[in-house]
């Protein structure tokens, strides 16, 4: 513990490291997952309820109902901080004490709303969360009421310690001393566990609140992350742990209680302000980038396509936005009546200057955000004027205070009118903090601008709103471009603008730096990015640490379809010249002190370039314009160039990319490429001989070098005719180069089609955790240098029975309706994701991600189908071969079958008889070793009986066989004779064994005789086996 130098009632007398450590421990506990925290909280709650119930039952047993009505004795000193006024038996603390006690009890009911923040982690939250709230409130109300009533009837109320009434009752109350001592410690432990449970509940809810606000963009978006493997908002838990532990360590308990009331007020205020922000500002997932095109209409896809066609063919088209904003001609007028901007009705009533300041170069909801700031400021000023000023100034209320209060109230009403002037975002929004009904419904009547009430408010608002708009707009006119170095690369068919901007930032708050695109080439924009040395992600939002300093950043933009062949038709031996028209001044929203523009052309002859714009200097293929001093905003200085450009104007007119996922370890990729050379058209004859000599090779494309992943295998290259053998595959360390040669060179206006496909192992691109899978692959392959794709359709074939599919693409695409593909062994079909995009270049070769759920048991479905199919096939074959579909009987075949059956049975009996031969031998061997004659005789009789039974069966089967097969019967007769000879040899062996045991013959003589018998038996067995094989 570290003691503070000047302890007071606001700060703690000592730094409480134990309390801070406890808070951090609780927050860390919640980071291990909701399930563990819920189990721990359930145990703590059960202990709390049990302790409270046990104490209440003990006090009710010793209850004295008369104690409810006793007043405060005169000889008892008052120790409470609450004033005692008008003591009565029922309200000894008076109305003030009742209100204070009620407020204290209210703290027991704070925190149940934390359950709503756990909706995503609950089963059926639509039912479980409301039920849990209702049950918890009822349970707490019942327990508090019963325990309070029991406490008041157990011990006089004036003897209770306000800080720990239950512990004081167990110490000084009636009843058995031992029981009270035990309950004293039990209640103390219960209080500690109760505090820990409250901390655990707050630690569960606070990070999830930050997580939800981060998802809505109200706080840092870094808080809206769930960490693995516990699926908890760990990043949002860090500030909760740090701030809570610091407050616990530094401030006293009374100050923390006051902070709790103030924090509750601030929380509800932030929630209300957050609702206003989300009503008038786009959802976070709708924010594309701060580098925006002021006049682009992102939502109107049809109008955008019409504008692109109009720009491409030089036509003009009138859109709905132009029709609705014909009154205004400033940039951004088309945004009127869009969500987050002025309503059309209000725009007609307000002065055009005011409309311009509130609309031009504004983000959606930008004015409403500023209006919220003024709204909060006016509320604070009104609070100071009404509540604080009368207590700080002895003269009380004066005229200036009344006038100030009226002024702030009028200002607040004007802020409400500003909100009503702007259109809200329609439809449901995925905002976790947005309630279904907003308090702004009370102001919905103001939405009708033609009403008399609205006209009165307009008159009251014109002057202050005009001043407010000017002040708001001035924050965005304080940028001055100090130095701009613009480099335009026109050496290929894709034009690249690299603009390096240097700003001397003023002091004070700054808004966004807007980078507009000239409307003449806006339709040709393919890709744009901004970079800075001090930032990894430049969103044209000035960082706070750069305010008052110099900032340098570079904006790179790529344009396609800007160059036009001139002449449009050439011969095979001619050179290709193009025309390029561009603005060599810096087209900016802000004034620029100095601009230098360098145009880099391809190497070759330059027929013409604009020299009227001075100063200008040409060096080889570079033409430098400027420096231009003090360039005004939106300045245009058009320069035209006609020069030789021999680079192939190759473009993929249509790319159909198919990615098929197999959970058996493979991903198949196929690119169907329709490619065209849109350079100067070839006119006149084409000579293959001249082409071989090099004539026309510079303006044509003979080979295309594609770069595939390093793990690509089974590469194929074909077209409508079939396989194309003119391709070379070159494996490298980090990639595979495929050099493909079309069937003919591509001159201007010529086109071809080919298919390039390959397989890659699934483990390099497919990731899994449980039943959740993620595919991360490139949106398109590197097909050739200076890649240009007019249109791409990406189809991703997912396995069958997938669910919860989610696609993330690093740039804006059009998601088409999903398709269904049925392939081998499919039943319901596979889900096919279809993504479409136009106007792509090499910078769009970025990874996309597809998330989906797939049960691993589903992988056994197709093998089970195959196994079942083969089993059924074999079962049908087995049944089929055993069925007789013949109409007439075949007597010869029937006799053969009967004869074969008899022979099989005879052979089976012969095998059994051969086994009996061995039994004879075993019996003799046992007899020789044990010399037990009685046992030998019993075994011998048994074996002899089995032998005779089998011999009789063979004799009977011989008679049946003679009816079908005489030759076979004769063989069986011969087999029987050999068996009799063998049996006689066995009998002779038995006699020899008895003689040697009884001593009639010697052992050497026995061994000689036994060897002779074994030789004869082996010869007989060989002859019997030969006959059996012949049968």
What is the H or E stretch that residue 836 is in? strand 830-841
Reference 737, options 710, 764, 702, 777; nearest CA is 710
With b meaning 16 or more CB within 10 Å and e meaning fewer, what string describes 438-455? bebeeeeebeebeeeebe
Peptide bond into 229 cis (omega under 30): yes
User: What DSSP letter does each residue of 524-557 carry, written as one string?
Assistant: GEEEEEEEETTBSS--SB--GGGTTSEEEEEEEE
Count Cβ atoms below 10 Å from residue 472 Cβ, excluding itself.
Answer: 21
Q: Which fold has domain 480-644?
A: Immunoglobulin-like (2.60.40)
- Across 905-940, b (16+ Cβ under 10 Å) vs e yields ebbebbeebbebbeebeebbeebeeeeeeeebeebb
* Residue 811 in tokens: 């740039």
Long-range contacts of 468-476 (CB under 8 A, 24+ apart): 468/370, 468/374, 469/354, 469/357, 469/358, 469/367, 470/357, 472/357, 472/367, 472/370, 473/357, 475/509, 475/510, 475/511, 476/361, 476/511, 476/512, 476/514
Domain 654-685+696-859 is found in CATH 2.60.40.1730: yes
Helix segments in 569-705, DSSP class H:
688-692
Let me know how long the chain is.
Answer: 1031
pLDDT of residue 673: 92
In whole angstroms, what is the distance from residue 403 CA to residue 585 CA?
A: 53
Domain boundaries, the chain: 17-63+139-280, 335-426, 480-644, 654-685+696-859, 891-1030
Give the bridge partners for 838, in sequence order.
791
pTM for the whole structure: 0.44
Do the Cβ atoms of 577 and 700 come closer than 8 Å? no
Number of other residues whose CB lies within 10 A of the CB of residue 216:
22
Number of neighbouring beta carbons within 10 Å of residue 974: 14
**Cα separation, 187 vs 993, whole angstroms:** 98
pLDDT of res. 658: 95
Residue among 798, 802, 800 at smallest CA distance from 833: 798
Report the DSSP pairing between strands 569-570 and 681-682: parallel
Q: How far, CA to CA in Å, does 608 sit from each of 105, 578, 624, 642?
A: 87, 11, 14, 5
Q: CB–CB of 210/219 below 8 Å?
A: yes
Cβ(899)–Cβ(964) below 8 Å: yes
**Residue 719 in 3-state DSSP?**
coil
pLDDT of residue 482: 86
Residues 6 or more apart from 170 whose CB is under 8 A from it?
55, 180, 181, 183, 184, 187
Tell me if 480-644 shares its fold with 654-685+696-859. yes
Q: Which residues of the chain have pLDDT under 50?
A: 1-8, 74-91, 285-302, 305-306, 309-326, 391-396, 427-477, 532-539
Distance of CA 609 to the CA centre of its chain: 52
Alpha helices in 251-336 (DSSP H): 253-280, 301-313, 320-324
The answer to whether the beta carbons of residues 647 and 492 sit under 8 Å apart is yes
Under a CB-based contact definition with an 8 Å cutoff, are residues 728 and 751 in contact? no
d(CA 317, CA 324): 14
Q: Which position has the token pair 């990639």?
A: 735
Characterize 324-362 residue by residue with b for buried, 16 or more Cβ atoms within 10 angstroms of its Cβ, and e for exposed.
bbeebeebbbbbbbbbbbbbeebbeebeeebbbbbbbbb
Strands (E), 588-726: 592-601, 606-609, 616-619, 622-631, 638-644, 650-662, 666-677, 681-682, 704-709, 713-718
Percent of the chain exceeding pLDDT 70 equals 75
In 3D space, the residue among 846, 845, 842 whose CA is nearest the CA of residue 492 turns out to be 842
Q: Cα separation of 540 and 529, whole Å?
A: 10
- Residue corresponding to tokens 């494996």: 731
3 state DSSP class of 659: strand
Closest to 841 (Cα-Cα) out of 375, 529, 389, 391: 529
**SS3 state at 765:** coil
Cα–Cα distance for residue pair 179/169, rounded to 1 Å: 12
Widest CA span of the chain, in angstroms?
154
Instruction: Tell me, rounded to whole angstroms, the distance of Cα 45 from its chain centroid.
Output: 35
| Measured CA distances, 364 to 278, 428, 429, 1003 (Å) | 11, 17, 15, 121
Token output for 603 = 């190497």
């Amino acid at each position: 513990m570290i003691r503070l130098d000047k302890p007071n009632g606001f700060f703690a007398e000592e730094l409480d490291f134990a309390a801070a450590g406890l808070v951090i421990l609780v927050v860390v506990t919640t980071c291990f997952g909701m399930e563990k925290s819920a189990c721990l909280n359930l145990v703590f709650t059960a202990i709390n309820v049990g302790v409270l119930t046990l104490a209440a039952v003990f006090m009710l047993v010793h209850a004295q109902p008369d104690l409810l009505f006793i007043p405060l004795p005169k000889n008892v000193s008052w120790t409470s901080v609450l004033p005692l006024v008008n003591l009565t038996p029922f309200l000894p603390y008076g109305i003030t004490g009742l209100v204070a006690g009620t407020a204290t009890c209210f703290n027991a009911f704070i925190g149940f709303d934390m359950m709503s923040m756990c909706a995503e982690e609950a089963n059926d939250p639509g039912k479980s969360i409301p039920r849990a709230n209702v049950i918890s409130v009822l349970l707490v109300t019942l327990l508090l009421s019963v325990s309070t009533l029991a406490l008041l009837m157990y011990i006089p109320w004036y003897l209770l310690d306000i800080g720990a009434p239950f512990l004081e009752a167990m110490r000084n109350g009636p009843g058995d001393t031992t029981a009270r001592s035990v309950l004293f410690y039990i209640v103390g432990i219960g209080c500690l566990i109760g505090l820990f449970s409250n901390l655990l509940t707050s630690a569960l809810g606070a990070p999830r609140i930050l997580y939800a606000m981060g998802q809505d963009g109200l706080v840092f978006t870094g808080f809206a992350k769930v960490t693995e493997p516990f699926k908890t908002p760990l990043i949002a838990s860090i500030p909760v742990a740090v701030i809570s532990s610091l407050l616990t360590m530094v401030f006293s308990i009374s100050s923390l209680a006051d902070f709790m009331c103030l924090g509750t007020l601030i929380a509800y205020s932030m929630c209300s302000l957050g609702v206003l922000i989300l009503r008038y500002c786009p959802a976070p997932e709708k924010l594309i980038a701060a580098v925006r095109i002021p006049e682009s209409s992102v939502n109107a896809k049809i109008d955008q396509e019409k504008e692109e066609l109009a720009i491409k063919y030089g036509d003009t088209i009138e859109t709905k936005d132009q029709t609705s904003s014909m009154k205004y001609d400033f940039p951004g007028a088309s945004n009127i009546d869009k969500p987050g901007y002025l309503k059309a009705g209000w725009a007609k009533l307000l002065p055009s200057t005011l409309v311009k300041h509130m609309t031009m170069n504004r983000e959606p909801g930008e004015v409403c955000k500023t209006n919220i700031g003024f709204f909060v400021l006016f509320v604070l000023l009104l609070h100071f004027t009404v509540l604080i000023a009368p207590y700080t100034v002895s003269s009380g209320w004066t005229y200036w205070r009344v006038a100030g209060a009226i002024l702030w109230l009028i200002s607040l009403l004007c802020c409400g009118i500003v909100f009503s002037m702007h259109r809200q975002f329609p439809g449901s929004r995925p905002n976790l903090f947005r309630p279904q009904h907003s308090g702004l419904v009370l102001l919905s009547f103001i939405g009708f601008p033609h009403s008399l009430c609205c006209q009165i408010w307009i008159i009251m608002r014109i002057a202050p709103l005009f001043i407010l708009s000017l002040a708001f707009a001035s924050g965005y006119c304080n940028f001055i471009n100090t130095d701009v170095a613009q480099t335009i690369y026109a050496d290929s068919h894709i034009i690249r603008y690299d603009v390096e901007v240097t700003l001397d930032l003023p002091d004070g708050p700054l808004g966004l730096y807007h980078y507009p695109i000239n409307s003449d080439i806006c339709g040709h924009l393919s890709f744009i990015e901004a970079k800075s040395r001090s930032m990894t992600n430049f969103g044209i939002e000035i960082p706070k640490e750069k305010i008052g300093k110099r900032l340098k950043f570079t904006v790179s933009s790529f344009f396609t379809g800007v160059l036009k062949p001139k002449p449009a038709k050439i011969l095979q031996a001619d050179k290709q010249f193009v025309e390029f028209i561009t603005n060599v001044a810096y087209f900016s929203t802000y004034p620029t002190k100095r601009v230098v523009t360098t145009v880099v052309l391809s190497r070759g002859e330059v027929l013409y370039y604009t020299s009227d714009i001075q100063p200008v200097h040409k060096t080889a293929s570079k033409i430098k314009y400027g420096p231009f001093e003090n360039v005004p905003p939106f300045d245009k200085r058009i320069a035209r160039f006609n020069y030789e450009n021999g680079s192939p104007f190759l473009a993929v007119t249509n790319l159909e990319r198919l990615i098929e996922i197999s959970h058996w370890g493979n991903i198949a990729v196929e690119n169907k490429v329709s490619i065209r050379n849109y350079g100067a058209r070839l006119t006149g004859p084409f000579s293959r001989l001249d082409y071989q000599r090099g004539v026309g090779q510079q303006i044509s494309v003979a080979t295309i070098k594609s770069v595939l992943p390093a793990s690509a295998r089974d590469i194929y290259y074909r077209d409508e005719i079939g396989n194309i053998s003119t391709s070379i595959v070159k494996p490298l360390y980090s990639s595979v180069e495929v050099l493909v040669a079309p069937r003919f060179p591509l001159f201007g206006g010529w086109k071809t089609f080919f298919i390039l496909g390959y397989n890659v192992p699934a483990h390099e691109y497919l990731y899994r955790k449980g039943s959740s899978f993620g595919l991360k692959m490139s949106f398109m392959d590197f097909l050739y240098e200076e890649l240009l794709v007019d249109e791409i359709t990406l189809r991703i074939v997912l396995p069958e029975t997938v669910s919860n599919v989610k696609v993330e693409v690093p740039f804006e695409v059009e998601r088409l309706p999903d398709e269904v593909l049925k392939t081998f062994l499919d039943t319901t079909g596979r889900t096919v994701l279809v993504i479409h995009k136009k106007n792509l270049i090499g910078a769009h070769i970025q990874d996309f991600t597809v998330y989906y759920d797939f049960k691993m048991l589903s992988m056994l479905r197709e093998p089970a189908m195959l196994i079942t199919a083969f089993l059924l096939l074999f079962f049908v074959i087995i049944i089929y071969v055993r069925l007789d579909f013949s109409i007439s009987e075949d007597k010869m075949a029937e006799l053969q079958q009967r004869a074969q059956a008899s022979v099989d049975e005879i052979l089976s009996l012969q095998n059994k008889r051969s086994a009996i031969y061995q039994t004879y031998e075993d019996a003799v061997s046992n007899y020789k070793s044990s010399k037990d004659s009685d046992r030998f005789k019993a075994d011998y009789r048994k074996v002899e009986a089995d032998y005779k039974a089998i011999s009789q069966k063979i004799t009977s089967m011989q008679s049946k066989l003679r009816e079908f097969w005489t030759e076979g019967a004769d063989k069986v007769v011969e087999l029987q004779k050999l068996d009799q000879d063998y049996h006689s040899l066995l009998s002779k062996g038995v006699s020899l064994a008895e003689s040697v045991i009884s001593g009639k013959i010697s052992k050497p003589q026995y061994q000689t005789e036994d060897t002779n018998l074994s030789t004869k038996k082996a010869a007989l067995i060989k002859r019997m086996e030969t006959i059996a094989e012949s049968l």
